[in-house]
Amino acid sequence: MVAKSADEARGSALGTWKTTGLPASGGVISNQSAANGNQGFKGGNGGLFVTTDPYAVEALNMTPKERLAVSKLLVGARYLKKPTSKYNKTFADALIKASQEFAVEATRSGRPDLTIRAFLTENYQAPTGTGPSLPQREIYKKTEEDRIAMLNQVSQTLRGQDITEEDKTQKWYKDLKASIDKMIDAGSVRTVTKQVNPKTKKLESVAVTVPGYSEEQVAATAEKAIRKATPEDVARKERVDFTSWMFSALGGR
């Protein structure tokens, strides 16, 4: 005597699902609707409707691993929103609807050997982007000369001179330069999602940008570091600027 396989031991539930979309025992699909998913299969008992849905039973008898694999195919073909390894009404309804449409497609296209798995695979629909999209990172191309020029501009404003070679040997400058480099290299992250406007009730694209770099941020960071590291130079520049302003205000007298 040949031992039965695991599928056979379970009444070939998953095996049936893999190979056909028609109900077992020779029943045929008849006027089944989403409103009454447990009816619509006519048996050989004088046309009476049976109350047990073979697809719901099949879904219930699947192992969690099998159910998860099936649910992913149902999600891909837009019969289900999220994959699941647990049995519930939503999963069963999705499987029933897919099985109905599969049977119709197999009949009208003259493909008796078409499987429901193949049907779901060929009807896969790519995501439309109604959920969160992948973040977009904008990296700013700044050469070493560009970065030094940005620091020189701040240094000229505060001290009246560029960053000197002596400055470049100091810890404060090395820390400042490393901070600026990290800021520029990080760029800005922009994420676009589809959201319903609470006022208009319409779906719209919403872009959220998390800045990792801006000209203003670089200037503010450099100013803070230069003021702290070279207060005498900054104070001298301020005195010179004040004297020049006063002389100009007095008309050069």
Is the pLDDT confidence value at 122 over 60? yes
3-state secondary structure the chain: CCCCCHHHHCCCHHHHHHHCCCCCCCCEECCCECCECCCCEECCCCCCECCCCHHHHHHHHCCHHHHHHHHHHHHHCCCCCCCCCCCCHHHHHHHHHHHHHHHHHHHHCCCCCCCHHHHHHHCCCCCCCCCCCCCEEECCCCCHHHHHHHHHHHHHHHHCCCCCCCHHHCHHHHHHHHHHHHHHHHCEEEEEEEEECCCCCCEEEEEEEECCCCHHHHHHHHHHHHHHHCHHHHHHHHHHHHHHHHHHHCCCC
What pLDDT digit, counting tens, does each position of 202-251 carry? Answer: 888 888 877 777 888 889 999 999 999 999 999 998 888 888 888 787 76
Quick one: what percent of the chain has pLDDT higher than 90?
A: 26
Confidence category of residue 35, pLDDT binned at 50, 70, 90 = very low
Q: Would the pLDDT of 96 be above 50?
A: yes
Would the pTM of this model clear 0.75, i.e. be above it? no
| Predicted pLDDT at 135 | 75
